[in-house]
Chains A and B, each alone.
Chain A
């Protein structure tokens, strides 16, 4: 009885500590002073408005969204193509191929990014948006591939046979028979790739051109180079809020546990 009670107290202390850094950025960004102050000196929403007026910030947000959208759409397509073939056929080296496609996760990201940086300089992709997209594909494909594979397994082949017998071409079979069955898995793969790509700092920090910063890189520069004004905690609070909302929405619609188990940042 006491053990159970003690566990509960421990859980809620941990919960408090886990949420503390997210909550602390709110009061700090509400201060009227132009430096960080806790407790805040007066309450104002000035710094939140400044966020949206800052052209560099808005541009970096747009770049981040563009990068995440393009790379996650591509990664899901690539993973689906490979996943279908691997699931449907028996061939030598099948297990090897599955391991191969998830292999980027065994190498630490810092090593991966240095390798890509040096490689990009030798093939002329350095500081380009294309190079950045490819780097994001590499880090998101292990998770996307596993998610896709898990949902491709659930496909009912007999439905496809029936459709083909009734004269459907492969195009119709794919869009009207296969896709509706694996819709949820595809959406999950897309959204999780999108989120991990949007939040990724490392790749863009090393690989993008100096004037072309994604939002996390812009945030990193502001934290690292210093001169923190209350705008930085204000952006952070907005990002945390967005994360919570997305999390709750996805938990309610798709169920988080099922998909996140294989995730890696």
Chain B
């Protein structure tokens, strides 16, 4: 008894940690363990799952070419979005660190306000633009680029455009923070020694902002492969990605063990994607030179 009392007394200062640790443990760690376990349980149409361990969910998933195709489409959408966001966002982030006054306010509001608006609004706006005979069609017809009904709304291109728009602000924020941290003297030194602009960019800017590029890339990839609201609303079921499958197996088909198995696969894709990207960037930038993530 006495030992317990001293134990409690010596850890008494820790009590304010209890709500936070409890919250994460109960409402994050436990559900994730439960989900992982569920992916190995047997599906039953009446009771949803039976307490029998089996690999049949994964066998069904990997034995079907349909799901392999789905993995491929998911990764493709994720990669296209990530590359688009970084390539389009980097110059914007650079410019944001260089301007000031009213222009800076205008650009900050313009580029980052969508963080404060639910992504449904962005999606609806693009959906209206993409509609057959909508604004984009009228614009393209003006230049005689297309004729007839535009079939754009249900394509991967439309999906990637919306995903890029939604995720661009996150990348701009992270990239701007790391571009801001690049010392001006280093760039001036390179210029004084006669380096042309593209060399300053390739040899100074890119390596020094690598941590920002890495953390925005991994974040955007994770968000893009796991997004399902935009695919559901923009492409419906014509572009099948893993999150849509998770959704329909959960709420429509009520096959929870299979939905859990797809979730595990999706998580592995995000984890492996992040890891591979770290390995590649470490290798390309001579490992250990910059602290990653």
Interface of A toward B, CB cutoff 8 Å: 3, 7-8, 10-11, 14-15, 17-25, 28, 36, 38, 77-79, 81-82, 84-86, 89, 97, 100-101, 103-104, 106-112, 114-119, 122, 134-135, 137-138, 141, 145, 195, 198-202, 206, 216, 219-220, 223-224, 232-233, 236, 239-240, 242-244, 246-248, 251, 256-257, 260-261, 263-265
Contact = CB atoms under 8 A, between A and B. Distances in A.
Interface in B22-61: 23-24, 27-28, 30-32, 34-35, 38
B99 to A, nearest CB: 9
Contact of B116 (A11, A36, A109, A247): A247
A89 B177 CA distance: 30
B276 to A, nearest CB: 16
Given A201-B229, A223-B124, A14 B19 contact: no
The 6 A-B pairs at the shortest CB distance, nearest first, are namely: A21-B125, A108-B226, A115-B31, A243-B117, A81-B16, A82-B20
B226 A109 contact: yes
A111 B263 contact: yes
B291 to A, nearest CB: 15
B250 A114 contact: yes
Contact of A118 (B17, B129, B226, B256): B256
B173 interface: yes
Contact of B121 (A25, A106, A195): A25
| Chief secondary structure at chain B's binding surface | helix
A111 B17 CA distance: 26
B128 A233 contact: yes
B13 A122 contact: no
Given A38-B135, A260-B112, A101 B24 contact: yes
A265 B122 CA distance: 14
A111 B35 contact: yes
B123 interface: yes
Interface in B252-283: 256, 259-260, 263, 266-267, 270
Contacts of A233: 124, 128
B194 interface: no
A171 B259 CA distance: 49
A191 to B, nearest CB: 10
19 contacts: A7-B95, A18-B111, A21-B122, A22-B117, A78-B19, A81-B20, A106-B222, A108-B266, A114-B35, A118-B31, A138-B28, A141-B24, A201-B119, A202-B229, A219-B118, A232-B124, A251-B108, A257-B173, A261-B173
Interface residues of B, number: 80
B205 interface: no
A195 B38 contact: no
Nearest to B274: A106
Nearest to B249: A114
A244 B121 CA distance: 13
Given A7-B91, A138-B28, A216-B118, A24 B16 contact: no
Given A85-B17, A236-B125, A115 B263 contact: yes
Given A219-B120, A265-B115, A104 B24 contact: yes
B226 A135 contact: no
Given A18-B114, A200-B118, A257-B177, 8 more contacts: A18-B110, A21-B129, A111-B263, A198-B118, A216-B120, A257-B173, A264-B223, A265-B170
B17 to A, nearest CB: 5
Nearest to B229: A201
B247 interface: yes
A195 B118 CA distance: 9
